[in-house]
A and B are shown apart, each in its own frame.
Chain A
Amino acid sequence: MIKILVAVFVGGAVGAILRELFMLNVPNPADLFPLDILAANLVASFLLGFATALHSRKAVSDGVNSLMGTGIAGGLSTFSSFAYGVAVLATASAMGALVAAAYVVVSLMMGYAAVVAGLMLGTKH
């Protein structure tokens, strides 16, 4: 149990720092579309799917799964910044509301595709 807690703590710290690097380095378009958070969420969704598939066929241990999936992928992805970003954009202007709607649709569809791609890549064929 202690091993899992340490793995999740360390992974979560690494994931959050990676997300900060996305926020500092991914350019944000003029229409304020939150490209940085979208990119972090998509990479994390793929990684979580991949780790979960490897773990379910016992290719990685519980500890590695906790580090990669619950830790790094969980720390890298964020729902709070996503939801608050939509709330702020949607109430800013008519254009903002359109960008917010596009952000929600693209995040949901591409995020789902990313996790499924990760699951498929990690599954032995």
Chain B
Amino acid sequence: MRPIDIVWVGLGGGVGSVLRLWIGRVVGERYHGDFPLGTFLINVSGALLIGYLSVLFEVDWRDRYGAALNSGVLTGLLGGYTTFSSMQLGAAQLAAKKESVVAVFYLLLSVVVGILAAGLGASIARAQG
């Protein structure tokens, strides 16, 4: 881990977070339901991309730091773009509005579709390879 890799992680994290803010707002302007659609779409698309790019970059998923590409794109950009905390906050806010069923559905759907998306991304990259 070199100091320059920390810079890549920070840059990627900053850009990914602004991207998350922007996509969240674009979705929020068009969809006005209770389901946290913006965060859901962000997380699923980020999971698909990390699966695809991890195989493409040929890195072991536990050891994705070191190279600038891995630090900047996987740890920084995709880590900053996707969010686990907003998913949990969205579920807590649904539960506070007496929509506990939707909250549980949201968490389970995010996790199941997210894991499938990550696996699909990896499969696409392997099929290309």
Contact = CB atoms under 8 A, between A and B. Distances in A.
Nearest to B50: A80
Interface string B39-71: 000110011011100100000011001000001
A89 B106 CA distance: 23
Contacts of B79: 16, 19, 75, 78, 80-81
Q: Interface on chain B toward A: helix, strand, loop, or mixed SS? A: helix
A41 B89 CA distance: 12
A4 to B, nearest CB: 8
Given A20-B71, A91-B119, A84 B61 contact: yes
B6 interface: yes
Contacts of A10: 14
B36 interface: no
Majority SS at the chain A contact face:
helix
Interface residues of A, number: 55
Contacts of A54: none
A121 interface: no
Given A13-B11, A74-B83, A77-B83, A119 B92 contact: yes
A91 B116 CA distance: 12
Contacts of A70: 17, 20-21
A45 B111 contact: no
A77 B20 CA distance: 13
Nearest to B45: A80
Interface string B1-34: 1000110011111111110110000000000000
